[in-house]
Amino acid sequence: MKFNSNSILSLPRRGFIKLTASAAAGYVLSSPGAYNKTENKMNKKSIRIKNVSSNFEREPLYPYRFKGGAVTEAWQVAALLESDSGIRTIGLGSQGVLWSDARVAFEHSESGGNALMYAVSEHALKMIEGQSFTDPLQLLDDMYPEVYAYASRITDHEDLRKTFALNALVCVDNAAWLLYAQEHGITNFDAMIPDAYKPGLSARNDKVASIPSFATGTPIDKLTESTDEGYFILKLKIGAAGTQEEMLEKDKAFLTEVHQAMQAYSTPYTKDGKIPYYFDANGRYEKKETLERLLDHARKIGAFDQIAVVEEPFDEFNTSFVGDLGVRIASDESAHTVEDAADRIEMGYTAFAVKAIAKTLSMTMKITQLAYEHNVPCFCADLTVNPILVEWNKNIAARLPAFPGISTGLQEANGHQYYKKWDKMMSYHPMPDAPWVEPDGGVYHTEDPFFEHGGGIFKPMPHYEGLFEV
Provide the residue ranges of all domains of the chain, joining segments of one domain with +: 21-187, 195-468
Sheet holding 132-133, edge to edge: 88-94, 69-83, 47-66, 132-133
Third-level CATH fold of 195-468: TIM Barrel (3.20.20)
Amino acid of residue 302? G
CATH architecture assigned to 21-187: 2-Layer Sandwich (3.30)
Contact 200, 374 (CB under 8 A): no
Written as tens digits, the pLDDT of the chain (470 aa) is: 544 333 222 223 333 343 432 333 333 333 333 344 434 455 679 999 999 999 999 999 999 988 888 999 999 999 999 999 999 999 999 999 999 999 999 999 999 999 999 999 999 999 999 999 999 999 999 999 999 999 999 999 999 999 999 999 999 999 999 999 999 999 999 999 999 999 999 999 999 999 999 999 999 999 999 999 999 999 999 999 899 999 999 999 999 999 999 999 999 999 999 999 999 998 999 999 999 999 999 999 999 999 999 999 999 899 999 999 999 999 998 999 999 999 999 999 999 999 999 999 999 999 999 999 999 999 999 999 999 999 999 999 999 998 999 999 999 999 999 999 999 999 999 999 999 999 999 999 999 999 999 999 999 999 999 999 85
Given the DSSP bridges, would you call strands 213-215 and 234-237 parallel, antiparallel or unpaired?
parallel
Sheet holding 277-280, edge to edge: 213-215, 234-237, 277-280, 307-311, 329-331, 351-354, 378-380, 409-412, 207-211, 443-445
Size of the chain in residues: 470
Amino acid of residue 252? K
Distances (CA, A) of 89 to 45, 102, 254, 461: 17, 31, 45, 10
Instruction: Give the Cα separation of 162 and 164 in Å (integer).
Output: 5
**pLDDT recorded at residue 23:** 38
Contact 371, 413 (CB under 8 A): no
Contact 51, 405 (CB under 8 A): no
**pLDDT recorded at residue 16:** 35
**pLDDT recorded at residue 470:** 53
pTM for the predicted model, two decimal places: 0.90
